[in-house]
């Protein structure tokens, strides 16, 4: 039963509470003691000398005063449970001495020549014993310390008188003493049980309060977490140990174009179709993280409900419980479409001309190197055509820089239209362009392309309200005939272009 376990677990509070009850009942007991003692003494004056009565009552007063002092002190000091034993011993000593004084009444206030007064003494002592049981029952030692010395002398007194009535009275006093002791024990057990119940209740209430507070804290934390997760810009998704979605936050709803309630308990790959750079369908990092029980980071493409293409970066972490068991995984998704575009733009800008969008010298150099390597490997050729506009400055000067820009953009388009997809048109700067004719190339073919270029450049350019007509000079170089590296090939093409200019422009060399 719980009571025993509580006493074993935490005995001192129970003991201290029993002692506290003793002291709590004490003022009433002292008052009754003094009143009953006074009445007894007064009644017995008829047969007992006043000096004896006063001496007895004086003893009673003295003992009671001592007990009042102890009780007062007990009420004043700050008691710890450890000190309960001391206060119990002091109280029990007081009860024992009081019992002795009351027991003495069974001898010194017991008139041999008045049966009625003898019975009165017995009546008062029985009353005091019964009252003592109710007051002292919280501690049995205090109870017996009072009962035994209070009643035994009276019983002995009766038994020594040897008349049938007095012998019967003596025997009955002993029986009364035994009955009182038994009642005291029962009463003591009732008090202990009720104290146990009270402690149980307090402990349960404290436990309930503790749990309520813990629950409250958990709710608050959950609310805070929920609010945080709901309000952050990154998408958050949670899957359980079976790989089924438990939660996605509003940002993830927006990213995937799915409402949380529609994706609940479904595997992520059913909901979000992720593709790698090659357009192959791949698993989310969330699923990989659950399967590998390790954090995973991935970047992939997915298509929203609006069919728009998103580039998503996902960081997934497996979730373990307190025992280290895998219970799911959580992912944070970031829409990096814009960042990706920006990066691509940066990369593009590093290799391309801002005005025309054509590859710049960097990219031309790279592609030419690749062409050299391939042609070298396959014993093939390729060509570079250096194109410079003739008198382009005049367009700027007469029509304005903006028209010059527009013309350059148009030139870029026309040059691109002159060549195959595998060829490359690059702008080196100003009005200088280079065409890389990739793949096996014969001089005949180069000349044909050069003529095509000269022809297309001579077509009038529509620039805003007006138009302009210009021409170009083209210099060609062939790998490996004119050089085996980028610089020599470009240098030869440039020199050839310069020769064409010197020959009167609008021609190839």
Ligand X SMILES: Nc1nc2c(ncn2[C@@H]2O[C@H](COP(=O)(O)OP(=O)(O)OP(=O)(O)O)[C@@H](O)[C@H]2O)c(=O)[nH]1
Residues that bind ligand X (CB under 6 A): 355, 388-393, 396, 401, 404-405, 408, 430-431, 501
Q: Are 154 and 121 in contact (CB under 8 A)?
A: yes
| Residue whose structure tokens are 């002692």 | 19
**418 vs 457, beta carbon nearer ligand X:** 457
By the 8 A CB rule, do 125 and 151 touch?
Answer: yes
Least CB distance to ligand X at residue 436 (A): 21
258: tokens are 């799915």
CB atoms within 10 A of CB 423: 20
Tokens of 151: 């009643």
Of 174 and 409, which has the nearer Cβ to ligand X?
Answer: 409
Distances (CA, A) of 410 to 158, 292, 304, 415: 141, 55, 37, 9
| Residue sitting closest to ligand X (CB) | 404
Cα 7 from chain centre: 38
Residue 332 half-sphere exposure, CB side, CA atoms within 13 Å? 8
256, 271 in Cβ contact below 8 A?
Answer: yes
Task: Identify which of residues 388 and 438 has a Cβ nearer to ligand X in the complex.
Answer: 388
Q: How far is the CB of 483 from ligand X (least distance, A)?
A: 23
The conformation of residue 365, written as its DSSP 8-state character, comes to: H
CB of 418 to ligand X, least distance (A): 20
Closest approach, Cβ 347 to ligand X, in A, equals: 22
Closer CB to ligand X, 245 or 385, in the complex: 385
Shortest Å distance, C-beta 448 to ligand X: 24
Q: Report, in Å, the least distance between residue 403 CB and ligand X.
A: 8
* Cβ-based nearer residue to ligand X, 396 or 456: 396
**Residue 498: CB minimum distance to ligand X, A:** 9
Nearer of residues 313 and 390 to ligand X, judged by Cβ: 390
Q: Residue 506 contacts by C-beta under 8 Å, 6 or more apart in sequence? A: 390, 454, 458, 471, 472, 473
Of the pair 388, 482, the CB lying nearest ligand X is at 388
CA 471 to chain centre: 73
């Amino acid at each position: 039963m719980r009571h025993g376990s509580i006493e074993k677990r935490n005995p001192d509070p129970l003991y201290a509470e029993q002692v506290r009850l003793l002291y709590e009942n004490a003022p009433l007991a002292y008052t009754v003691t003094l009143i009953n003692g006074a009445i007894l003494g007064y009644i017995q004056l008829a047969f007992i000398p006043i000096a004896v009565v006063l001496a007895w009552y004086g003893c009673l007063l003295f003992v009671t005063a001592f007990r009042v002092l102890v009780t007062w002190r007990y009420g004043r000091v700050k008691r710890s449970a450890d000190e309960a034993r001391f206060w119990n011993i002091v109280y029990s000593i007081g009860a024992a001495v009081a019992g002795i004084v009351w027991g003495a009444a069974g001898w010194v206030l017991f008139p041999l020549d008045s049966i009625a007064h003898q019975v009165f003494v017995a009546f008062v002592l029985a009353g005091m014993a019964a009252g003592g049981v109710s007051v002292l029952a919280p501690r049995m030692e205090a109870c017996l310390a009072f009962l035994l010395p209070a009643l035994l002398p009276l019983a002995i007194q009766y038994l020594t008188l040897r008349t049938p009535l007095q012998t019967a009275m003596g025997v009955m006093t002993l029986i009364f003493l035994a009955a009182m002791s038994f009642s005291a024990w029962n009463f003591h057990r009732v008090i202990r049980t009720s104290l146990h119940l009270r402690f149980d209740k307090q402990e349960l209430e404290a436990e309930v309060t503790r749990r309520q507070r813990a629950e409250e804290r958990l709710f608050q934390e959950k609310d805070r977490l929920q609010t945080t997760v709901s309000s952050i810009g990154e998408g958050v998704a949670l899957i359980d140990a079976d790989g089924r979605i438990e939660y996605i936050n509003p940002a993830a709803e927006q990213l995937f174009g799915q409402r949380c309630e529609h994706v609940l308990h479904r595997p992520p790959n059913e909901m979000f179709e992720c593709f790698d750079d090659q357009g192959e369908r791949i698993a989310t990092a969330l699923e990989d993280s659950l399967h590998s029980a390790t954090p995973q980071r991935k970047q992939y493409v997915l298509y929203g409900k609006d069919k728009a293409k998103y580039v998503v970066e996902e960081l997934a972490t497996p979730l373990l419980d307190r025992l280290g068991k895998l219970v799911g995984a959580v992912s944070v998704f970031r829409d990096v479409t814009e960042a990706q575009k920006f990066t691509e733009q940066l990369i593009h800008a590093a290799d391309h001309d801002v005005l025309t969008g054509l590859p710049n010298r960097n990219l031309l150099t790279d592609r030419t190197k690749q062409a050299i390597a391939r042609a070298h490997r396959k014993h093939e050729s390729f060509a570079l055509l250096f194109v410079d506009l003739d008198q382009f400055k005049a367009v700027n000067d007469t029509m304005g820089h903006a028209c010059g820009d527009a013309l350059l953009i148009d030139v870029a388009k026309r040059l691109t239209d002159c060549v195959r997809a595998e060829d490359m048109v690059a702008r080196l700067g100003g009005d200088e362009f280079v065409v890389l004719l990739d793949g096996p190339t014969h001089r005949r073919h180069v000349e044909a392309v050069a003529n095509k270029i000269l022809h297309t450049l001579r077509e009038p350019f529509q620039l805003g309200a007006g138009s302009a007509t210009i021409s170009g000079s083209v210099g060609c170089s062939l790998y490996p005939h004119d050089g085996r590296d980028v610089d020599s090939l470009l240098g030869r093409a440039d020199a050839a272009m310069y020769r064409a200019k010197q020959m009167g422009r609008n021609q190839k060399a």
